[in-house]
A = this chain, B = another copy of it.
Amino acid sequence: MLTRGLALLGAFGPARPAMTLSQLARHAGMPLSTAHRLLGELVEWGALERDDTGSYRIGLRLWELGALAPRGQGLRERALPFLEDLSQITRENVQLAVREGTEVVFVERIGGSGAVPVLTRVGGRFALTATGVGLVLLAHAPTEVQEDVLGGRIERFTERTVTDADELRRMLADVRVNGFSISDRQVTMDALSVGAPIQDERGQVVAAVSLVVRHGTASPHTLTPLVRTSARAITRALAEGYRAG
């Protein structure tokens, strides 16, 4: 029954933030009566809430619990002052992301005033192969994860998206050597992204930060030192957090 309860929760996603009983039963693959009983328990506990139309939505208690995730809210809170500095200085999009399996999860996103539109949202997922943060996280992922991603189908977003595994391997080697990534019009034809790694206190890459700018408006050579400096400042802040307990 725990598995079935989790299946109901797992039916929610960015594309399905609100669902009716019958939609939930169908997505979680269980009879209406079972879904109805389990949803009652989830609402009672506060994991779900019902809106005016009777649809189910994620409840505040689950949000409160999620705020305790060290790789989500904990990382976000330590990094936020540095992300805000980077956003105010550049007036561009700033993104913070972690890797979950073979995908990027965006933990924070600050939109620059008048900056190029980006496709991502907080709590949203994206392919590791195309974005600036994704290339950093993939470059520092365990070999099995890299081979899993590079051996599978590599999604194309634009005519500039690199989908050749060998070319991606060379790009990832460059990221490791240079300490930054550049995604040039690989996600949308109007955007360029520069990413840099954030490390934990043992030197493991646990997150990545990026600037996303309109293609042609700023040189990667200007952006790279800014993003790397910000990533190092966040790395230091994380280390201080660990020492402070």
Contacts and interface: CB of A to CB of B under 8 A. Distances in A.
Interface string A1-41: 11111100110111001000000000000000000001001
Contacts of A77: 122
A17 B156 CA distance: 39
A157 interface: no
Contacts of A123: 63-64, 66-68, 73
Contacts of A142: none
Contact of A65 (B1, B2, B12, B84): B12
A66 B122 CA distance: 11
A14 B123 CA distance: 21
Contact of A64 (B2, B64, B66): B66
A100 B61 contact: yes
Interface stretch (A52-60, A159-167, A228-236): A52-60
A128 interface: no
B45 A6 contact: yes
Copies of this chain held together in the complex: 2
Contacts of A47: 6
A190 B14 CA distance: 42
Given A6-B41, A73-B123, A58 B63 contact: no
A105 to B, nearest CB: 6
Interface in A62-85: 62-74, 77, 84
B64 A58 contact: no
Contacts of A74: 17
A92 interface: no
Contact of A71 (B1, B12, B49, B98): B49
A141 to B, nearest CB: 15
Contacts of A57: 68-70
